[in-house]
Amino acid sequence: MRRAHSVEQLRAAEKASMASLPEGALMQRAATGLAYAVIDLLRERHGSAYGRRIVLLVGSGDNGADALYAGAVLARRGAQVEAWLLSDRVHAGGRAALTAAGGHCVGQESTPVEPDERRRARLETTTVDVVIDGIVGIGGTPGLRPEAESALAALAGIPVVSVDTPSGVGVDTGEIDGSHVSADLTVTFGTHKPCHLLDPAASACGKVRLVDIGLDLPTPAIESLEAADVAALVPRPAPDGHKYTRGVVGLRVGSATYPGAALLAVSGANTGLAGMVRYVGTAAEWVKRRNPEVVGDGQAQAWVVGSGSADGANSALAFARASGVPLVIDADSLRPLTGPLGVPAILTPHAGELAALIGEDRRDIEARPLHYARLAAKRFQAVVLLKGRRTTIASPDPDTPVRVNTTGTSWLATAGSGDVLGGLIGSLLAAGLAPIDAASAGAWLHGAAASLAASGGLDTRERREGPVTASGVAAAIPAVIRSLPAVSPVHR
């Protein structure tokens, strides 16, 4: 499980830790971890850090101090380190350490920002190999000041390593408002921050490397499942189990206009995770021809409604609600919702569908997925799975961490993939998973299956991805489940 803690949580943990450690110990741990991450990057690109030129962009916060102390470590390893001071209040100890190690600082306290023409003149005669972004700390607000924008413009095209978070992004919200750093690598300390997982800020982080600095942390604000977590959640048949004990999932989806939606939703449900799949709708003959094991109407432990249902969406939702069992509500069946449903439910909108549902602008929802997923979960008292590059899954319980799914590929943006996801989540819900677990495990499996279908194999070391179809994603789900780590019965 990747866990992300808020700025407030992190500061409380750091304060508790510093009470029992020598002064500056946490900063030295962070700076050393940062320095060795940069060394590893330079080794990958150039074979060694020795002789390489590194520019530090240093602000007044702790991230600037981390950059300075890391610069001192790098200078002692033979790198040419120059700090561009973007504030007249940079960390004195860090600056002294860099200078003592042979590094160079540009910018005086009286004139912290060096003229652009002097920067550019130096850059024309030397090559910078990497930039370390220590401009703004985790307490900063979105956006950058002009002096930072100017420095970044002078260094455009050079690989950037951000300290803790890319400067200028919303750390707790994942939001972006104004200029910001786009990093190739972000080195973070103690724990992930929400912006490392949440879009749109996550797209600015590049690769994220976590350095353990020994913090005792509480329940996270945000979390992201990994393969071992999904393996522990995926339902597996008991030795004495049968089709009914494994769960029965029902689908009322599709229509004469969109029969393919029914086939795709059933293909997502009919992956072997539930003991029986029922289908009720206008595409019954097509479904049975493609999936002869699928049966008709009857009792179910969960219902999936809405995908391609067109004019039948309202009646499908009304029937499913009356059954009293958990629901997965997608697409057309989202439209009639006005408040809590009275049964456990998972809503699976994309940004446009959620915008129509709650009366907001789609662009605002795409810019603030965490905010709007939480808002909708509270309003409808349901788990809300807001689809996107980083799908965001919020529970109506404010004490339950929001989950963000990080599996998948851009090739997954294809017609019908959401129908497959709805059916897959429905099968997990019918098999007995709690709504938050069914939604997040389903999203993980769906994204992993898309990556498998796009690459043609489970070996990701030299994976090259290509186009996928929704049908191909559904077909890859069983292979992804087989590839999950083994789980000890003690931990199930």
Confidence of residue 116 (pLDDT cuts 50, 70, 90): low
Sign of the torsion formed by the C-alpha atoms of 406, 408, 412 and 417: negative
Class of domain 2-224: alpha beta
Q: What percent of the chain has pLDDT over 90?
A: 90
Q: Measured on CA atoms in the order 336, 339, 345, 346, is the torsion positive or negative?
A: positive
SS3 annotation, the chain: CEEECCHHHHHHHHHHHHCCCCCCHHHHHHHHHHHHHHHHHHHHHHCCCCCCEEEEEECCCHHHHHHHHHHHHHHHCCCEEEEEECCCCCCHHHHHHHHHCCCEEECCCCCCCCCHHHHHHHHHHCCCCEEEEECCCCCCCCCCCHHHHHHHHHCCCCCEEEECCCCCECCCCCCECCCCCCCCEEEEECCECHHHHCCCHHHHCCEEEEECCCCCCCCCCEEECCHHHHHHHCCCCCCCCCCCCCCEEEEECCCCCCHHHHHHHHHHHCCCCCCEEEECCCCHHHHHHHCCCCECCCCCCEEEECCCCHHHHHHHHHHHHHHCCCEEECHHHHCCCCCCCCCCEEECCCHHHHHHHHCCCHHHHHHCHHHHHHHHHHHHCCEEEECCCCCEEECCCCCCCEEECCCCCHHHCCCCHHHHHHHHHHHHHHCCCCHHHHHHHHHHHHHHHHHHHHHCCCCCCCCCCCCCCHHHHHHHHHHHHHHCCCCCHHHC
Residue 489 is predicted with a pLDDT of: 54
Contact between 196 and 221 (Cβ < 8 Å):
no
In this model, does residue 122 exceed pLDDT 60? Answer: no
If one compares 61 and 447, the residue with the highest pLDDT of the two is 447
- Asked whether residue 142 carries a pLDDT value surpassing 50, the answer given is yes
pLDDT band for position 56 (cuts 50, 70, 90): very high
State residue 206 phi and psi, 5-degree precision.
Answer: 65, -145
Q: Is the pLDDT of residue 462 over 80?
A: no
Q: How far apart are CA 327 and CA 268, in angstroms?
A: 15
- Whole-number Cα distances in Å, 366 to 331, 334, 413, 414, 467: 18, 18, 15, 18, 24
209, exposed or middle or buried, with CB in 10 Å at 0-12, 13-18, 19+? middle
Residues in the annotated binding site for AMP? 387-391, 418
Q: What is the pLDDT of residue 317?
A: 96
Q: Quick one: pLDDT band at residue 120, thresholds 50, 70, 90?
A: low
At 425, the pLDDT band (50, 70, 90 cuts) reads: very high
Annotated binding-site residues for (6S)-NADPHX read 62-66, 137-143, 164, 261, 308, 350, 419
The predicted pLDDT at position 107 comes to 79
Answer whether residue 459 shows pLDDT above 90. no
Q: What is the Cα–Cα distance from 257 to 249, expressed in whole angstroms? A: 23
Q: What is the largest CA-CA distance in the chain?
A: 79
What dihedral angle (degrees, nearest 10) is formed by the CA atoms of 348, 9, 198, 352? 40
Distance CA 211, CA 194 (A): 16
pLDDT the model gives residue 492: 44
Strands 383-386 and 392-394: antiparallel
Q: What is the domain partition of the chain in residue ranges?
A: 2-224, 227-487
Strands lying side by side in the sheet with 327-329:
2-4, 222-224, 402-404, 392-394, 383-386, 345-347, 327-329, 302-305, 248-252, 276-279
At 458 the pLDDT is 57
What pLDDT score does 180 carry?
Answer: 97
According to the model, what pLDDT value does residue 463 have? 64
Annotated binding site: 62-66, 133, 137-143, 164, 167, 261, 308, 350, 387-391, 418-419
- Residue-level pLDDT at 354: 98
Taking only the tens place, the pLDDT of each residue in 5-50 is 999 999 999 999 999 999 999 999 999 999 999 999 999 999 999 9
- In this structure, CATH architecture of domain 227-487: 3-Layer(aba) Sandwich (3.40)
pLDDT of 123 strictly over 90: no
CATH fold match for the domains 2-224 and 227-487 = no
pLDDT score of 304: 98
Specify the pLDDT at position 464.
78
- Burial-class residue 370 by CB neighbours within 10 Å (0-12, 13-18, 19+): buried
The C-alpha atoms of residue 475 and residue 492 are separated, in whole angstroms, by 27
* Structure confidence at residue 486 (pLDDT): 87
Average of per-residue pLDDT across 98-116:
72
Q: Which residues contact 322 (CB under 8 A, 6 or more apart)?
A: none
Q: What is the pLDDT of residues 172-191, one digit of tens each?
A: 999 999 999 999 999 999 99
Spatial distance between the Cα atoms of 338 and 391, rounded to a whole number of angstroms: 23
With 70 as the cut, is the pLDDT of residue 79 above it? yes
CA distance 347 to 156: 42
* CA gap 282, 107 in Å, rounded: 72
Phi, psi (degrees; rounded to nearest 5) at 61:
-90, -175
Q: What is the pLDDT of residues 334-374, one digit of tens each?
A: 999 999 999 999 999 999 999 999 999 999 999 999 999 99
Q: According to the model, what pLDDT value does residue 456 have? A: 79
Average pLDDT over residues 284-305: 96
pLDDT above 90 (res 380): yes
> Is 50 exceeded by the pLDDT of residue 111?
no
C-alpha 300: how far from chain center: 32
Q: Residue 135: is its pLDDT beyond 70?
A: yes
C-alpha distances (whole Å) from 174 to each of 180, 300, 420 are 12, 39, 28
Mean pLDDT of 147-169: 96
pTM: 0.93
Task: Provide mean pLDDT across the span 291-314.
Answer: 95
Question: 491 pLDDT exceeds 80?
Answer: no
Asked whether residue 130 carries a pLDDT value surpassing 60, the answer given is yes
